[in-house]
Amino acid sequence: MTDGQGPGDLHLLGLEPDDLDGHTLDELTDYLEAGRQPRDPSIEGSAGCQLALDALQRLRGLGGQLIDADAAAMPEVEESWVDRILDGIALDARAGRRIPFAADADGADFAITEGAVRGLVRSAENAVDGLLVGSTHLRGDASVVGSPIRLEVEASAFYGARIPDAVARLRTEIAERLRHHTELNVVSIDITVSDIQQIDTWAKGTR
């Protein structure tokens, strides 16, 4: 990330209007900054827009510190950690694969999108101090009910966090959300802490 760029430079996310039901990231940024008023049903009713707005809202609180930490990174770093977080948000807003639920007695066909599942995973960071989720990948055939799925999550830790404890809590939070909202057969949740960043204020959880 170069000088003058930040979480507000949303072209970094690489999202197209098709990912956001015809809206652009600039429109979503303006909408967020206006307090989501006046209410826009086309935005509020779009799953992709909701995922992007939720992730951008969480980033706003850390915005300045994220950029300061990124600017202090060694020049040899090929891809900044902030960029990885933003890339993860971009991935969340894309629908991806259709993940079905088991058919009910009436034969109804219900499903959730892969993007929505990634959004659930990212939301788990709200209950955990010291970690910020980057990218999430579902490994396995999620289009077949009951297929074993291995979840891979990349996260950044803030300096001073007890990483083993934070990772364990994040894994528990993710598992609980997926159990409540999906029928995925998750056989493992692999969390990789890719870097540690010095940020003065990082507590986001409920503890």
34-74 per-position pLDDT tens digit: 999 999 999 998 877 887 787 777 666 554 444 444 445 44
Using only C-alpha atoms, what is the Rg of the chain? 17
- Residues of the chain under the 50 pLDDT cut: 1-15, 63-71, 73-78, 201-207
> pTM of the full predicted structure?
0.64
CATH of 97-207, picked from 3.30.1330.10, 3.30.70.1350, 3.40.50.1110, 3.40.50.970, is 3.30.70.1350
The CATH 3.30.70.1350 domain(s) of the chain lie at 97-207
Helix/strand/coil for 91: helix
